Amino acid sequence: MIKTVFIASTEPYSGKSIISIGLVNMLLGKAQKIGYFKPIINQNDTQKRDDHIDTILSYFDLPVIYDDAYAFTWQEAMSKMETESEGEVLDTIIRKFKYLEEKYDFTVVEGTDYLGDGAAFEFDINVQIAKNLRAPVIIVISGKDKSTAQIVNGVLTAIHNFDARETQVLAVVANKIKPEFAKDVEELLKEQLSPGILLTVIQEDIRLQSPTMKEICTRLNGKLLFGKDHLSNLADNFVTGAMQVPNFLNYLKENVVIITPGDRGDIIISALQANLSTSYPKVAGIILTAGYEPEEPIIRLINGLQTVVPIIAVESGTFQTSNEVGAIRSTITADNTKKIQLAIDTFNKYIDVAELDKQIIKFKPSGITPRMFQYQLVQWAKSAKKHIVLPEGTDERILKAAARLLSQDIVDLTLLGDVNEIHGIIKRLDINLDLTKVKIVNPADDVYYNDYVNTLYELRKNKNVNMEMARDMMTDVSYFGTMMVYKGHADGMVSGAVHTTQHTIRPALQFIKTKPGISVVSSIFFMCLPDRVSVFGDCAVNPNPTAEQLAEIAISSAESSKRFGIEPRVAMLSYSSGTSGEGEDVEKVRKATEIVRLKRPGLKVEGPIQYDAAVDPVIGSSKLPGSEVAGRASVLIFPDLNTGNNTYKAVQRETGALAIGPMLQGLNKPVNDLSRGCTIDDIFNTVIITAIQCQDNS
C-alpha cells in the first residue's frame, strides 16, 4: 500500500505548488493524518523560513512541526556533500522522512525549487531522494514560453531519467500550457506514455502567475500610502502613466498596475475614477515613482473615497520600477488564501481525482474525520449536480460562496436580485464569479412571476390570501425562491444570511410542507470536531418539543446521519442518565426514547443520558455499563431549543469545531436556513448539503 508520493519538477517556477496544495487537500478527505515533507529547501539570509512549507502547514492546519518538515537548506546540503558524501545527506533525509511516515497515514513529499545553480545536479538529487524513499513520482513540467515539441520532449526526458533509476512515475502534469497548444500536447503525450501513467494538461491561468500588490510592495521595498485592505489584488498587467489622461485611459486593461511619477495628480485621480467606473477595467494598484508623493489636495481627495486601490511610493525611477515589476515571479503564500483556493480549484478542475486516488491511496479508516467528511460532501454533491436558488443575491458573502461553488462545478445556481446591482458588487469587490455560469433573476421582472402569483393564490386562498396579497408576497425573495423549488424550477433553496429563520422557512411551511408521516420540521448541525463528526439536533427550530416530537426529531436525525455517512448511535440528552433522575423534563426524554425504540427497533438509542456520558467512553461505561451508545454517541438529541442552541455554540466556540448547518429535516423539498452571522464557508457547506438532500428527492 502506497503511503507517500513525491512531487518533482525539472525547472524553476513549474507550478508544482499547485499540485502539492491540491494533493494535500484531496488526501485530507481520505486519510485521518497527513504529513508534508520538503527534504531540501531554498533559504537565504532575508528569508528565514520556506514560504511553501508555511503555506501548506498553516492553511491545512497540519500538525507537523516546521523543523520536521525539511531536512536541509540547499546551502547546507551542498556543504555536506562537499565535506562528507551524498549518502550522508540521503541518510538524514530518510531518517526525518521515516519519522513522519510513522506518525502519519500519508506523507506528501515535494522536491526542490531549482532556484540555485546546477539544474542537472539538482534533478539527480530529486531522483535519488524519491528512489530512496521508495516513493512514486508526480512529474510537473512547465509549458511557459515553450513549443509543443519542447513540452513533449521535456516530459519524455524526465520520465526516462526516473525510469532509468528504477523510480516509478505515477503521473505527469504538463502545466502552464497555452490553450491553443493543450489539445496537441495531450494527444502527443497520450500516444507515447505508458498506460499506467496518469496524464494531466493544465492550461495557463494568469491569476495563478500574477503577483499580488502585497508581493509587489514587498519586492520593491515600497511605502504603502493607501489601500491596505486591497493588497490581495492581483496585478495581471502594468502600464506606465507618462502621457495625457485621454491617451492613458486607452491603455488600461483588467487588473492593471499603473506606474507613474508621484507628482502626476491627474493620472492618479483618473486611475481611481476609472476603477470606480463600470466602463473601465479594474485597477489593481498604483505605484508612484521617483520618491514623489501626492500633494495635500490629492491626498485629501483620496482620503474621502470609500474604496481605494493600493497606492505605493518607491524611490526608483519609472523605467527601473517598470523593469522590476515585470520581473516579479509570484508565489503562493500562507496569507493569500484566495490564491490557495484557486490552486485547489485548478487541481480539482484538471486532475482526474478519482483515478489518482485509486492509484495512490486505498485506505479504509474507521470513523470519519472532518476533512474526510467535507471532502465526501463535495464528491456526493458533484455525483448528481443539482440546482440551488440563493434568494439573497446581493449579499457579498453569498456572491463569494457562489463563485467558489461554481469554480468547482458543484452545483448550478440562481441568484435573486437586481442584475445591475449584483454586477456592480462583483466588480467592486473583485469577486471571481463567472456570470456565464449563473442565472440572475429579479422576481418582479421574471417570466414566471404571474404564474407564481396565481399558484400562491390557489394554495393560500383558503387562508385569506387574496390576489393582491399574493402579488406582494411574490416580490419577496424568500417566497419567490421557495416557489421556484415548489414548481421544480430549482431543486433546493438556501437563505438566511440577511433574513431571519422565520422569514426563510415560513413559505416552505406554508406550501412545500412536510413529508408524509412527518409532523414536525426540525434541524441538525454537523459538528466537525477535531477527531470526529457528530450530529446535533434540534438546535434551530423547535423551542420546546413534546415527547412525540422529540422522538420524531431523533428518528429524522438518525436517518440524516446515516445518509451522510455517519453511523447513527443516538443519545437522548437530559440532566440525568438512565433511571437516576426524576421530573417532568427527564420523563419527557424517557418517553421519547421509548417511542423511538418502538418505531425503529433496530436503531441504537440511549436515553435519558447526560452529555458527558454520551461522548466520553470512561464516563459512559461507568454510568451506563453495556450500552451500545454511551461514550460513543454520534447523534445527540437535545431536549429543547434553549439547551441545543447554547450547547452547539459553546462547543463551536470552545473547541474551534466547524458547525455545518442548520440542515432542515422533514420538508417535502430541501430548504435550508443560514445564520445572519454566517461565513462564506458556512454558505458553501450549507449549499452542498442542500444539494445532497436534493438527490434524495430525484
Predicted confidence (pLDDT) per residue in 525-541, tens digit: 999 887 688 999 899 88
Identify the CATH assignment for 518-666 out of 3.40.640.10, 3.20.20.70, 3.20.190.10, 3.40.50.10750.
Answer: 3.40.50.10750
Dihedral sign from CA coordinates of 295, 297, 298, 303: positive
Domain locations in the chain as residue ranges = 4-208+339-359, 213-326, 371-511, 518-666
**In the chain, what are the helix, strand and coil shares in percent, each to the nearest 5?**
45, 20, 35
Q: Which CATH superfamily is domain 213-326 in?
A: HprK N-terminal domain-like (3.40.1390.20)
Q: What are phi and psi of 471, to 5 degrees?
A: -65, -45
Q: List CB contacts of 346: < 8 A, sequence separation 6 or more.
A: 18, 22, 202, 205, 208
What would the grid cell of residue 331 be? 508565489
Q: Are 415 and 440 in contact (CB under 8 A)?
A: yes
pLDDT value at position 398?
A: 94
Please state the rounded mean pLDDT for residues 167-177. 91
Answer yes or no: is pLDDT of 155 > 90: yes
Give CA–CA dist 695/512, Å, rounded: 17
**CATH code for the part of the protein at 371-511:** 3.40.50.10950
Q: Which fold has domain 4-208+339-359?
A: Rossmann fold (3.40.50)
Amino acid symbol at 576:
S
For the chain, percent of residues with pLDDT exceeding 90: 55
Select from 249, 410, 415 the least CA-distant residue to 345.
Answer: 410
Amino acid symbol at 283:
V
Provide the 8-state DSSP code for 582.
-
Q: How far is CA 251 from the centre of its chain?
A: 35
Strands 492-495 and 671-673: parallel
Write the pLDDT tens digit of every residue in 133-148: 888 899 999 999 899 9
> What band does 359 get if pLDDT is binned at 50, 70 and 90?
confident
Q: Are 211 and 236 in contact (CB under 8 A)?
A: no
Average pLDDT, rounded, for the chain: 89
Element (H, E) at 328: none
Asked, colleague to colleague, whether 4-208+339-359 and 518-666 share their fold, the answer is yes
Residue showing cell 486593461:
253
Please state the rounded mean pLDDT for residues 31-45. 83
Write the pLDDT tens digit of every residue in 278-329: 899 999 999 999 998 998 888 988 888 877 899 999 999 999 999 999 888 8
Give CA–CA dist 165/186, Å, rounded: 26
Please state the rounded mean pLDDT for residues 572-586. 86
Provide the 8-state DSSP code for 281.
P
CA-to-CA separations, 50 to 40, 73, 348, in angstroms, rounded = 10, 9, 25
**Residue 444 CA neighbour count, 13 Å, CB half:** 8
pLDDT value at position 483?
A: 95
What would the grid cell of residue 25 be? 487537500
Dihedral angle over CA of 97, 98, 100, 102, nearest 10: 160
Give CA–CA dist 394/391, Å, rounded: 9
